[in-house]
Amino acid sequence: MLEKLKSIEKRLAKLSSFAVAFSGGVDSTFLLAVAGKTNPQKLVAITVSSPFVPEREIEFAKKISRSTGIEHICLDVDIFENEDVVRNTVQRCYYCKKQIFSLIKKTADSLGIKSLLHGVNLDDLKDFRPGLKAAEELGFLSPLADANLTKKEIRLLSRQLGLETWDKPSLSCLATRIPYDERITTENLSMVDRAEELLQDLGFDQVRVRCHGKMARIEVEPDRIGSILKNKILQKISTAFAKIGFEHTSIDIDGYKTGKMNQGISFDQIGQDS
């Protein structure tokens, strides 16, 4: 791991200035911290706020950036204006990242910054992620993936660096909770956001609420399934989810696993429609 870290630092040291696409998650926080250690002439963290990201995560990104002392820019984008995104085909992530990363690139260009970084890791390359193609097209560099760093290694190194995000639950945009070809709306995103926040308040940190129309499918970590199936917890969830707007609620007995909505999708679909 330390050799991989050194290779990242060596590579970044060759860049005089760069902008980091910053979400406040495990990967981008680690990347920002490592980038800061290389003493660049100019370093900016850029966060893009959209309805696909819970407001609490945007506030957390602001908090993290303040603690580092690194310049932070937060931009707003109305992703619902992008029909290619809201119609939610398997290429949604490509169109979304194209719009968001284009905005980051434009902002970096206005500051005279040419090097763009994002925090994709080695594990991400094994999943269906059309957005990676958009990042590549726009010239974003991926130092963590290039160094073959896995999510587990990034967490361990983050802990060594004293980063509070080292054990933060894995995050993804709220749109990943909606099945492909089901239109994304402010209503279904809000339902998912409120449902996941409720589960987190109940002590389930790593959660996903997959939204199938008016049915919610809850995923928690496999070792927490027994906890969520307790009667008192189920009653609280059932009552609260009904108020949110879900007519039926189910528990996924296989538990949480990243990329579940991508099961059955072929990697060769990445190039279609884009």
- How would residue 34 be classed by pLDDT, with cut points 50, 70 and 90? very high
For 132-179, the pLDDT digits (tens) are 999 999 999 999 999 999 999 999 999 999 999 999 999 899 999 999
Q: Residue 274: is its pLDDT beyond 50? A: no
CB-based burial label for 193 (10 Å; 0-12, 13-18, 19+): buried
Compute the radius of gyration of the chain from its Cα atoms: 19
CATH of the domain at 106: 3.40.50.620
Tell me the pLDDT tens digit for each residue of 214-251: 999 999 999 999 999 999 999 999 999 999 999 999 99
How sure is the predictor about 127, in pLDDT bands with cuts at 50, 70 and 90?
A: confident
Is 250 inside any structural domain? yes
pLDDT at residue 212, rounded to an integer = 96
Position 14 in a domain: yes
User: Averaged over 181-194, what is the pLDDT?
Assistant: 97
Give domain status of residue 268, yes or no.
no
Are both 29 and 151 inside the same structural domain?
A: yes
Domain span at residue 128 reads 2-167
Model confidence at 51, pLDDT cuts 50, 70, 90, reads: very high
Residue 244 inside a domain? The answer is: yes
The pLDDT value recorded for residue 39 is 87
Let me know if residue 262 belongs to a domain: no
Determine, yes or no, domain membership for 190. yes
Q: What is the pLDDT of residue 262?
A: 78
Across the range 268-273, mean pLDDT stands at 44
Q: How many CB atoms lie within 10 A of CB 34?
A: 21
Task: Note whether residue 273 is domain-resident.
Answer: no
- Same domain for 152 and 99, yes or no, is yes
When divided into structural domains, the chain yields a total of 2
189 and 103 share a domain?
no
CB atoms within 10 A of CB 225: 17
Judge whether 264 lies within some domain: no
Do 163 and 178 fall into the same domain? Answer: no
Q: What percentage of the chain carries pLDDT values higher than 90?
A: 89
pLDDT band at 272, cuts 50/70/90?
very low
- The predicted pLDDT at position 273 comes to 38
Same domain, 112 and 96: yes
Judge if 209 and 139 occupy the same domain. no
Q: Do 6 and 75 share a domain, yes or no? A: yes
My answer on whether 163 and 203 are in the same domain is: no
Average pLDDT over residues 87-106: 97
